[in-house]
Amino acid sequence: MYEHTVYDIIRALMTKQNLSFNQLAKKSQIPQSTIASMFSRQTKIIKVETLSKIATALGKEWYHLVDAPQTPYDGNAKISTELGEETTIRLLYELVGPDWESYVDNKSEPTIRDHHRNSIISTLDKLNENGMQEVLLYVLTLAKDGAYLQKSQRNNDSNQGGRYD
């Protein structure tokens, strides 16, 4: 199933180049949280400047990713991320190659949960040992409170007699 957006093109190019979202963020000099948010929310309008940074990191020009005329961009310009099915398939073929389908199917999108996980890890990396111990104690406290558990985990816990002890 095709979403018919520029995200299909970017995801396929990332997969072909074996790039993670974190690596794309570093190469494009865009915060990883911004890229994760764009993909998880499937932002409908994107700044051309942002698209240009991503395209450059992937070895392409921004207009290749959206089938736009080859023009310089205005730093404040924005463009729709939506593409038609025919355009999406043609661009995937041109930019990724004849085996483009294998690259589209192999890469999953980051979710809001992935974004939060990456933000937490990034923050944890900044803490010293005392900070890490405090975080661990707090997380264990939250994990004991059923109000903070995922529904599936609450069900598992109730089957095992309730809270962690």
Considering the chain, what is the average pLDDT of its residues?
Answer: 75
CB pairs under 8 A, 24+ apart, for 27-30?
27/57, 28/53, 28/54, 28/56, 28/57, 29/53, 30/54
For the chain, how many structural domains are there in total? Answer: 2
Kindly report, residue by residue over 50-97, the tens digit of the pLDDT: 888 999 999 988 888 887 666 665 656 777 777 777 777 778 877 777
DSSP string across 83-108 = --HHHHHHHHHHHH-TTHHHHHHH-P
Amino acid identity for residue 27 in this structure? K
* Residue 48 in domain: yes
Please say whether the beta carbons of 35 and 11 come within 8 A: no
Q: What is the pLDDT of residue 29?
A: 95
At 162, list the tokens: 């309730």
CATH of the domain at 36: 1.10.260
Residues 73 and 134 in one domain: no
Residues 103 and 132 in one domain: no
* Segments forming the whole domain that contains residue 98: 6-109
Residues 87 and 144 in one domain: no
For residue 31, pLDDT beyond 50 = yes
* Residue 86 in domain: yes
* Residue 116 in domain: no
